Structure 1
Amino acid sequence: MANPKGNPQNLQPIKSTREEPLTERINLRITKAMKEELATKDDPPEFCRRVIQEALDKDKNQENA
């Protein structure tokens, strides 16, 4: 019979391999078309993080130039 409380290893926090932990959250509104296109990506959350970081880096470089 299955354990009704789940497996003990499932209760452990997820270990991150990132330099900085992902602790913060944001909410944003997008169009339905954007959401559908985003859903086709392999890893939508990572895609969003990467694109946001690229835009922040670009903006920072323009300020320093």
Structure 2
Amino acid sequence: MPNRKGNPQNFDNPPSKELTENVTFRATKEMKEEIQKQDNPAQFCRDAVQKALDEKKGKQQ
């Protein structure tokens, strides 16, 4: 039976980190439409959030 939460190796995610958490946020209708146009909307969001976190972390050091 497949893992219903997905397998980390299928998401450009380091194998040691499982994708077990959900994040919900509000966005404009236009933002939502643009996200949904992406080939892989979930990975697009993960990449965007990680990029923002990395940039913020770099500015704090």
TM-score of Structure 1 vs Structure 2, range by shorter chain: 0.7 to 0.9
What is the aligned partner in structure 1 of residue 48 from structure 2?
A: 51
Q: Which runs of 4+ in 1 moved over 6 A?
A: none
* Match status 1:62 vs 2:59: yes
Shift of 1:26: 1.0
Match of 1:25 in 2: 22
Structure 2 stretches of 5 or more lacking a match?
none
Query: Structure 1: which 5+ residue stretches go unaligned?
Result: 1-10
Q: Please tell me whether the aligned partners of residues 38 and 44 of structure 2 are also in contact (alpha carbons under 8 angstroms).
A: yes
The CA RMSD over aligned residues, in Å, is 1.3
Counterpart residue number, 1:12? 2
Cα deviation, 1:22-62, whole Å, max 9, x if unaligned, reads: 01111111111111111111000000000000000000000
Question: Within 2, Cα distance between the matches of 1:41 and 1:23?
Answer: 22
TM-score by length of 2: 0.78
Residue in structure 2 matched with residue 41 of structure 1 by the alignment: 38
- Percent sequence identity over aligned pairs: 37
What is the count of residue pairs matched by the alignment?
A: 54
27 and 33 in structure 1: CA distance in 2 versus 1, 3 angstrom threshold: same
